[in-house]
């Protein structure tokens, strides 16, 4: 039996899978079980910013696994203390408290709970086309009626509203005395690679402050150098009350976190927790991963290679292209047709890319991708669109 047949016997059936088994990676390259090589512009859907097979992270994981993999937040731990020191250095000074968890959705869950506890309000305002995960709480903030229909629709999430993205005038009407949190991505990833307008973000911060609501930034996809700075909030010059991070934080080991400011106040003891949150293994991986991001200067690589990719894609002159958008190495092409055939065409030409809504081809390569590989991605895209 093939790998695919063995998986198909037991898979949940929830995923739309491509008929490829990816078995190995190195930098921005991955190989399938037949030995075919691909430039990986899926990048673990944003969890592989550092590239595949990073030796420093692999060593840190192996060392910590031999020393102490499991210990919960019932106790203190040297690796966790080290990670807090690292985070204090790279995060805005105001965001000086952190809850560690295991995924993006779990970070958003935490953020929504903290906002409700801090404000004693229940309302959540999010944006159309926003994506914040698919667990019950996070799904309230996620746009996409298609994700809720099977659950009975919006009635499940009373008190949640979605406003149009990048429409500052919609903020005043939506964020009111019952609003606990306004939840925002600085670049909508799943929703089609749409950067937020700085004026929209500034106005969101102002309205939240005026109305006593908390501003929650979801940087699960934009964080860790993806958009050309360690966090996209640096590009926008904004500090939220609560920040959600995950995906690339620990070099491929599952981890997420919620960082929050003193505006959140004291959270009731035991009102939230996670067995694996802050495990020594994940903390060791994150310390090593963040160290490598800095050593390799992934932020400027994302800026340079992102510019190369966007310029190349903008120069394609295909009648199928409606718009090329992005920030750093979070890039997308919106087509005048369904993106599926182009994504398949790229795969046939040795480039794995992602969708972002029905008509957008999204590129999320590891940030270690080199100029020659980016040139090949552009050429493959030109070919696939022709
Ligand atoms: C991927 C993503 C999530 C969900 O993360 P999971 O780890 O899949 O739960 C949340 N928010 C954003 C912006 C994301 O891109």
- Closest ligand 1 atom to 185 CA: 13
What is the mean predicted confidence (pLDDT) over 355-378? 98
Q: Are 213 and 235 in contact (CB under 8 A)?
A: no
Q: Tell me, what's the pLDDT at 314? A: 97
What is the residue with the minimal CA distance to atom 11 of ligand 1?
A: 132
Q: Which protein residues touch ligand 1 with a CB less than 6 Å away?
A: 46, 103-105, 108, 131-133, 185, 189-190, 218, 220-221, 246
- Expressed in angstroms and rounded, the spacing between residue 317 Cα and the centre of ligand 1 is 33
pLDDT digits (tens, 9 = 90+) for 278-291: 999 999 999 999 99
d(CA 228, CA 386): 30
Closest CA to 217 of 194, 185, 187: 185
- Expressed in angstroms and rounded, the spacing between residue 104 Cα and the centre of ligand 1 is 4
Q: pTM higher than 0.95, yes or no? A: yes
- Whether 154 has a pLDDT exceeding 80, the answer reads no
- Whether 170 has a pLDDT exceeding 90, the answer reads yes
Q: Are 243 and 214 in contact (CB under 8 A)?
A: no
User: Any idea of the CA torsion for 99, 292, 47, 369, to the nearest 10 degrees?
Assistant: 160
What is the residue with the minimal CA distance to atom 6 of ligand 1?
A: 104
Q: For the chain, where are the E strands, in sequence order?
A: 22-26, 29-32, 37-40, 97-101, 123-127, 160-163, 179-184, 187-188, 194-195, 214-218, 242-245, 256-260, 321-327, 330-335, 351-352, 354-355, 360-363
pLDDT category of residue 309 using cuts at 50, 70 and 90? very high
109, 221, 274, 356, best to mutate for ligand 1 pocket (most atoms within 8 Å of CB): 221
Q: What is the phi/psi pair of residue 97, to 5°?
A: -125, 145
Q: Tell me, what's the pLDDT at 152? A: 82
Domain boundaries, the chain: 3-53+297-385, 55-295
What is the mean predicted confidence (pLDDT) over 352-356? 97
- Expressed in angstroms and rounded, the spacing between residue 34 Cα and the centre of ligand 1 is 30
Strands 256-260 and 242-245: antiparallel
- Expressed in angstroms and rounded, the spacing between residue 206 Cα and the centre of ligand 1 is 26
The CATH classification of domain 55-295, taken from the options 3.40.50.150, 3.10.450.30, 3.40.640.10, 3.20.20.70 = 3.40.640.10
- Whether 144 has a pLDDT exceeding 80, the answer reads yes
pLDDT digits (tens, 9 = 90+) for 35-67: 999 999 999 999 999 999 999 999 999 999 999
What is the mean predicted confidence (pLDDT) over 316-322? 96
Q: Which two tokens stand for residue 121?
A: 């309000």
pLDDT digits (tens, 9 = 90+) for 79-134: 999 999 999 999 999 999 999 999 999 999 999 999 999 999 999 999 999 999 99
- Whether 156 has a pLDDT exceeding 80, the answer reads no
d(CA 141, CA 127): 8
- Whether 226 has a pLDDT exceeding 90, the answer reads yes
Q: How many CA atoms lie within 13 A of 202 on its CB side?
A: 6
Closest CA to 216 of 192, 233, 228: 233
Residue 8 CB coordination number (10 Å): 12
Q: Tell me, what's the pLDDT at 73? A: 96
CATH number of 3-53+297-385: 3.90.1150.10
Radius of gyration of the chain (CA): 21
- Expressed in angstroms and rounded, the spacing between residue 67 Cα and the centre of ligand 1 is 30
d(CA 232, CA 328): 9
- The residue with tokens 């919960």 is 72
> Residue 217 contacts by C-beta under 8 Å, 6 or more apart in sequence?
184, 185, 186, 233, 238, 240, 242, 243, 244
pLDDT digits (tens, 9 = 90+) for 180-225: 999 999 999 999 999 999 999 999 999 999 999 999 999 999 999 9
- Expressed in angstroms and rounded, the spacing between residue 1 Cα and the centre of ligand 1 is 33
Percent of the chain whose predicted confidence (pLDDT) is above 90: 96
- Whether 153 has a pLDDT exceeding 80, the answer reads no
Instruction: Answer with the residue of higher pLDDT: 153 or 361.
Output: 361
pLDDT category of residue 240 using cuts at 50, 70 and 90? very high
- Expressed in angstroms and rounded, the spacing between residue 132 Cα and the centre of ligand 1 is 5
Angle of helix 371-385 versus helix 340-348 axis, rounded to 10? 130
- Closest ligand 1 atom to 246 CA: 7
pLDDT category of residue 157 using cuts at 50, 70 and 90? confident
């Amino acid at each position: 039996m093939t790998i695919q047949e063995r998986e198909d016997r037991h898979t949940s059936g929830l995923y739309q899978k491509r008929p490829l088994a990816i078995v190995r990676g190195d930098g921005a390259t991955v190989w399938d079980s037949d030995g075919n090589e691909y430039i990986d512009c899926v990048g673990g859907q944003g969890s592989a910013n550092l590239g595949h097979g990073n030796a420093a992270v692999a060593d840190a994981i192996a060392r910590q696994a031999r020393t102490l993999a499991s210990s919960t937040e019932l106790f203190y731990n040297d690796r966790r203390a080290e990670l807090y020191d690292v985070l204090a250095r790279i995060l805005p000074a105001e965001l000086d408290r952190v809850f560690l968890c295991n995924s993006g959705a779990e970070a958003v869950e935490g953020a929504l709970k903290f906002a409700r506890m801090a404000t004693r309000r229940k309302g959540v305002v999010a944006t159309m086309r926003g994506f914040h995960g698919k667990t019950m709480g996070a799904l309230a903030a996620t746009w996409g009626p298609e994700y809720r229909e099977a659950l009975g629709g919006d009635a499940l999430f009373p008190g949640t509203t979605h406003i149009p993205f990048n429409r500052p005038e919609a903020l005043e009407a939506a964020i009111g005395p019952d609003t606990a949190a306004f939840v925002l991505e600085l670049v909508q990833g799943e929703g089609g690679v749409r950067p937020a307008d700085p004026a929209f973000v500034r106005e969101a911060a102002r309205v939240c402050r005026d109305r006593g609501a908390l501003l929650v930034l979801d940087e699960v996809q934009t964080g860790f150098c993806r958009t050309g700075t360690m966090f996209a909030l640096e590009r926008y010059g904004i500090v939220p009350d609560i920040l959600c991070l995950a995906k690339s934080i620990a070099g491929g080991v599952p981890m997420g976190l919620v960082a929050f400011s003193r505006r959140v106040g004291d959270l009731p003891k035991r009102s939230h927790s996670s067995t694996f949150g802050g495990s020594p293994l994940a903390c060791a991986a994150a310390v090593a991963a963040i160290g490598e991001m800095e050593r390799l200067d992934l932020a400027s690589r994302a800026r340079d290679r992102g510019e190369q990719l966007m310029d190349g894609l903008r120069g394609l002159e295909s009648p199928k292209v409606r718009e090329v958008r992005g920030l750093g190495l979070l890039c997308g092409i919106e087509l005048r047709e369904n993106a599926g055939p182009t994504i398949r065409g790229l795969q046939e030409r040795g480039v794995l890319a992602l969708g972002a809504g029905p008509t957008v081809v999204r590129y999320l390569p590891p940030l270690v991708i080199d100029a020659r590989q980016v040139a090949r991605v552009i050429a493959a895209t030109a070919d696939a669109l022709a």
